[in-house]
Structure 1
């Protein structure tokens, strides 16, 4: 999907830091999927970043701070995604419901903000993941491959569904 299509379907439930408002961002992606598992189970896989590479092929080299088992409030970690080395810091953390983190090249200002919103739907969980990027790198990605972020998140949700549903 294009950024315009993603903006039209974005979730109003997401809490955005001011600088990362999707309406003014240089790049934005919205993805959602209903998973046949509880939000607690889905959450356990999302916050267990060290295990992402086992089920999400776009995640590599996850390094959490010493003694840290899962993502939590203010956790800063390093990892590779989309072939780039990234440092991320958790900004929003509401167990089983909301997770938001900044992403940036180590030593630079945050240029991306990635969110997860989980909502129970009976015995299932609606998972929404949105990401906004600002600055020259986000603008360049929009110009060269506008749908890359959306496709990557489609893959992340599909593999999250796979691991949560016990496949």
Structure 2
């Protein structure tokens, strides 16, 4: 099953295509005179639908099981995405030592065009504690050390994604352009590196999201459900596009 099957075809991997993303023909997107409670109600319906789509498209968690592995091995190469993601990955990403995509155990590349300024899109990305309001694959986001709600250079934050409780540490931070963080279980060495790259182009913002995984956990995920991370990132980009273009959740 693909995001097209569940109506979430806004994110593109191989080409940059303007799409409308998930929208609502209602006061949330049209700006009518309705109360904040009405906005919250509509938003909750959309986010719940997106969460259901992720569950249907992705499966339960990173770990998977033997049945998932057998099923994945039987699928055509067309849905085993790591090879094509490596071919289409951005050459502009700054990878830290030990996280070269060419030697990765798991890799995902996703890209979307957002009809908004990169400054506005950036404000949604760095407002980490607000992610769960619009990205259903995140919860319990907390910036460690009293760091407020917004990510900065060297921020450390804890959160749950793909059913895993993780700690992440900002490694690269160039306002409105680049942000990258390590991901790891608290108290362990980094095993994932997640990066965003924003490029303004003709009045819109091209958003690239790449991630490398290494080690036993990444290998298990690739064997059991290789495209899970790719599809989860598709969802993140589609919902980012929605909140950036419609302003439904602007504070």
Matched, 1:129 2:202: no
Aligned position for 1:87: 167
Query: Whole-Å Cα distance in 2 between the matches of residues 109 and 68 of structure 1?
Result: 25
Partner secondary structure for residue 101 of structure 1: strand
What 5-or-longer segments of structure 2 have no aligned partner? 1-78
What 5-or-longer segments of structure 1 have no aligned partner? none
Structure with the higher helix share, 1 or 2: 2
Aligned position for 1:30: 109
Aligned position for 1:104: 184
User: What's the TM-score once normalised by structure 2's chain length?
Assistant: 0.66
| 1:8-157 to 2 correspondences below 5 Å | 8-65=87-144, 66-157=146-237
Query: Whole-Å Cα distance in 2 between the matches of residues 101 and 39 of structure 1?
Result: 19
Out of 242, 246, 249, the position equivalent to 1:162 is 242
Cα deviations by residue, 1:73-112 (Å, 9 ceiling, x for unpaired): 0000100000000000000000000000000011110000
Query: Whole-Å Cα distance in 1 between the matches of residues 202 and 126 of structure 2?
Result: 22
On the 8 A contact 2:139/2:160 being kept in 1, the answer is: yes
Cα deviations by residue, 1:138-163 (Å, 9 ceiling, x for unpaired): 01100000000000000000000000
Shift of 1:27: 0.1
Aligned position for 1:5: 84
Query: Whole-Å Cα distance in 1 between the matches of residues 133 and 203 of structure 2?
Result: 25
User: What's the TM-score once normalised by structure 1's chain length?
Assistant: 0.98
Shift of 1:44: 0.2
Which one has the largest radius of gyration? 2
Cα deviations by residue, 1:101-131 (Å, 9 ceiling, x for unpaired): 0000111100000000000012100000000
Partner secondary structure for residue 92 of structure 2: coil
Query: Whole-Å Cα distance in 2 between the matches of residues 162 and 19 of structure 1?
Result: 34
Shift of 1:5: 0.5
Partner secondary structure for residue 171 of structure 2: strand
Structure with the higher strand share, 1 or 2: 1
On the 8 A contact 2:147/2:155 being kept in 1, the answer is: no
Shift of 1:68: 2.0
4+ residue runs over 4 A deviation: none
Q: 1:67 to 1:23 in 2, by over 3 A?
A: closer
Query: Whole-Å Cα distance in 2 between the matches of residues 132 and 152 of structure 1?
Result: 14
